[in-house]
Amino acid sequence: MHQIEFKDLAIFVRVAESGNFHEAAEAMHLSQPALSRRMQRLESILGTQLFERTTRKTWLTSAGREFLPKARRMLEDFEVSVLSIKEMATQQKGKVTIACIPTAAFYFLPSVIRIFNERYPGIRIQILDASANEGLEAVIRGDADFGINMAIAQHPEVSFTPLVDDPFVVCIRKDHPLASQSSISWEDLTPYKLITVSRASGNRSLLDSALVQEGVKLNGFYEVQHLSTSLGLVEMGLGVSVVPHMAMPLNEASMLTCRPLAHSIMRSIGVVRRSATGISPAAELFVAILLEVWPYHVKTNVAAV
């Protein structure tokens, strides 16, 4: 059986990005017939058609769209495997892609990025701020080197290294009647309209599970897609919301405040990595600094998500 060649992957990615066989051929210093033959060979090896073509336009088939992130990952793995971590640190080359849930992005990343940039100023960073499920899929597909995510689901393809536990709190306006209390119970919330995020959210799943376990039904009046939207509605005085503490704004001028829940709901935040394959040397450098910056990371065992 024929093996896929590195150059074929590079050509495939170039054609996919340019949408033009002629431009890709010029960029790869090949004749267009030679480039076409290489793509036909790649399609033959994979057993599927990667491109649809007309005289004016080229676009990816569904199989091509699925293969593209894998091809990019294989190219990147090949490039970084040439350099050891020490060489990469010296030559200042590489790129780190992190899939991070939005509520954790500001909490974890700025201080780590600052140190990382000081030590390795030539290594670029890409942040995919995505929901927990989307971020997990990005890591599994190889679109991200690793993720900062919730321990929301068991999955055989990833491992989870805990960093910190993030408690849920009740988000209210500073002038809300409940602001005078030191903590808030479910019973305290029943008279008020509750603003929740979509049921597809990992945060919503944790909240719903806690409510079911305790046999509590709240007045879920508004449902939004993003935690930031729920905070905005609370600020407008439309209701209250139960959110992870990391989601609360740090701006003291904000009209929002929070109070602890009398009933504990906690989400574990940590580093998500593919189990079967290692991460790039550049990503290893970043994770090492992340664990260095968070010295209260005491769980050294890596458990499956």
| Residue 114 and residue 186 in one domain | no
pLDDT at 301 over 50: no
Compute the residue count for the chain: 305
Residue 183 to residues 179, 193, 214, 220, 256, Cα–Cα distance (Å): 9, 18, 18, 20, 16
Residues 154 and 185 in one domain: no
Evaluated on CA atoms 206, 209, 214, 220, the torsion sign reads positive
Are residue 94 and residue 130 in the same domain, yes or no? yes
Contact 166, 245 (CB under 8 A): yes
Do 247 and 184 fall into the same domain?
yes
Model confidence pLDDT, tens digit, residues 224-272: 988 889 999 999 999 999 999 988 887 777 899 999 999 889 999 999 9
Q: Which helix (H) or strand (E) holds 25?
A: helix 21-27
| CA contacts within 13 A on the Cβ side of 177 | 5
Q: Return the biggest CA–CA distance within the chain.
A: 75
* Rounded Cα distance, 207 and 197, in Å: 10
Q: What's the pLDDT at 103?
A: 84
| Within a domain: 1 | no
pLDDT digits (tens, 9 = 90+) for 25-73: 888 888 989 999 999 999 999 999 999 988 778 889 999 999 999 898 8
Which pLDDT score is estimated for 298? Answer: 36
Q: Are 253 and 279 in the same domain?
A: no
The domain boundary, picked from 75, 99, 118, lies at 75
Residue 171 lies in a domain: yes
Whether 155 and 121 map to the same domain: the answer is: yes
128: its two tokens:
């995919």
Q: Predicted confidence band at 91 (pLDDT cuts at 50, 70, 90)?
A: low
Of 75, 103, 118, the residue that ends a domain is 75
Can you give the CATH number for the domain in which 28 is found? 1.10.10.10
Q: Are residues 201 and 252 in the same domain?
A: yes
Give how far Cα 168 sits from Cα of 80, 127, 190, Å: 40, 25, 17
- Verify that 154 and 291 share a domain, yes or no: yes
Pair 206, 59 in one domain? no
Residue 63 lies inside a defined structural domain of this protein: yes
Residues 146 and 274 in one domain: yes
Q: pLDDT class for 300, splitting at 50, 70, 90? A: very low
Is the model's pLDDT at 144 over the cut of 50? yes
User: Could you count the other beta carbons within 10 Å of the beta carbon of residue 187?
Assistant: 9
Residue range of the domain that includes 17:
6-75
Indicate if 278 and 214 belong to the same structural domain.
no
Residue 190 domain flag: yes
SS3 164: strand
The last residue of a domain, from among 75, 96, 116:
75
Q: What CATH number is given to the structural domain containing 131?
A: 3.40.190.10
The answer to whether position 80 is within a domain reads no
For the segment 14-24, the average pLDDT, to the nearest whole number, is: 89
Indicate the pairing of strand 266-274 with strand 158-173: antiparallel
SS (H, E, C) the chain: CCCCCHHHHHHHHHHHHHCCHHHHHHHCCCCHHHHHHHHHHHHHHHCCCCEEECCCCEEECHHHHHHHHHHHHHHHHHHHHCCCHHHHHHHCCCEEEEEECHHHHHHHHHHHHHHHHHHCCCCEEEEEECCHHHHHHHHHHCCCCEEEEECCCCCCCEEEEEEEEEEEEEEEECCCHHHHCCCECHHHHCCCCEEEECCCCHHHHHHHHHHHHCCCCCCEEEEECCHHHHHHHHHCCCCEEEEEHHHCCCCCCCCEEEEEECCCCEEEEEEEEECCCCCCHHHHHHHHHHHHHCCCCCCCCCEEC
Domain count, the chain: 3
Helices 227-235 and 102-119, axial angle in degrees (round to 10) = 120
**Do 204 and 221 fall within a single domain?**
yes
In a domain, 129, yes or no: yes
> Does any domain span residue 155?
yes
Q: Is 115 inside any structural domain? A: yes
pLDDT exceeds 50 at position 223:
yes
